[in-house]
Amino acid sequence: MQLLHIDSAITGANSVSRQLTAQTVAAWQAQHPGTQVSYLDLVANAPAHFTSDAMAPRTGQTEDLSAAQQRENAVSEQLVSQFLAADVVVIGAPFYNFSIPSQLKAWIDRIAQPGRTFRYTASGPEGLATGKTVIIASSRGGVYSTSEGGRAMEHQESYLQTVLGFFGVTDVRFVRAEGVGMGEAAKAAALASATQSIREHAASHPTPARDMQAA
Ligand SMILES: Cc1cc2nc3c(=O)[nH]c(=O)nc-3n(C[C@H](O)[C@H](O)[C@H](O)COP(=O)(O)O)c2cc1C
């Protein structure tokens, strides 16, 4: 089984989401000892912002590509094929300015490719990245999950759920530490709650659908 471990926090050793992705991957490996892990640090290796030079996979242009277009295509192709090859994807998604880090958004812009992760049909869009499990390690300074007002303000977990669903990923799970900016006691409680949910995922996660197809 292939697991892709992604981090996108800019906070280095102090990062809560990096701590949670590491714990999540370790728990998954303990449960599935043969898992092969690849790692993508979207801060150390940030894809550039999406530009017109990167548009060819979306427009379908394959001829007369400029050097800049070819360079951008190579970046996007590497990222989309890495994503498609994974059975399990663990994504560190810190909550920055009510949303996700721009590095993580840049990655999504690169893998959102018609014919690879989605396609449009007569009956509407269809996701093509099916059969994966995605675990989002979400870290938030404040608390947003417990009120309607909070949920309306967050464009991080809800956005990731939407875009991954658009890509055809139906098994999206969350490991959440929220309120980590609300004092030491709140942070400790948030980390304990996230650790508990990592344990529960590790104990209960079913074999990803693609594995069952292969069996
Ligand atoms: C640039 C930046 C923006 C942030 N914006 C918000 C915010 O809008 N709301 C909030 O509750 N916390 C915010 N925080 C706090 C983070 O959500 C919190 O520190 C979380 O742990 C970030 O994940 P990380 O530790 O993996 O970087 C922000 C932190 C940073 C560094």
Q: Which fold has domain 2-214?
A: Rossmann fold (3.40.50)
What is the band of 112 on the pLDDT scale with cuts at 50, 70, 90? very high
- Among 24, 41, 140, 176, name the best residue to mutate to test ligand 1's pocket (greatest count of ligand atoms within 8 A of Cβ): 140
Predicted local distance difference test score (pLDDT) of residue 169? 98
| Phi, psi at 37, each rounded to 5° | -105, 130
Beta bridge partners of 36: 2
Question: Beta strands 124-127 and 118-121: pairing type?
Answer: antiparallel
Q: Give the closest residue (by CA) to ligand 1 atom 4.
A: 96
pLDDT tens digits, 176-189:
999 999 999 999 99
pLDDT tens digits, 7-66:
999 999 999 999 999 999 999 999 999 999 999 999 999 999 999 999 999 999 999 999
Map out the domains of the chain as residue ranges.
2-214
113 contact partners, CB below 8 Å, separation of at least 6: 57, 58, 76, 80
Share of the chain above pLDDT 70, in %: 95
Choose between 18 and 200: higher pLDDT.
18
Amino acid at 171: D
Evaluate if residue 158 carries a pLDDT over 60: yes
- Among 10, 96, 105, 157, name the best residue to mutate to test ligand 1's pocket (greatest count of ligand atoms within 8 A of Cβ): 96
Share of the chain above pLDDT 90, in %: 92
Evaluate if residue 136 carries a pLDDT over 70: yes
Residue 101 Cα to ligand 1 midpoint, Å, equals 9
What is the band of 157 on the pLDDT scale with cuts at 50, 70, 90? very high
Q: Give the closest residue (by CA) to ligand 1 atom 22.
A: 94
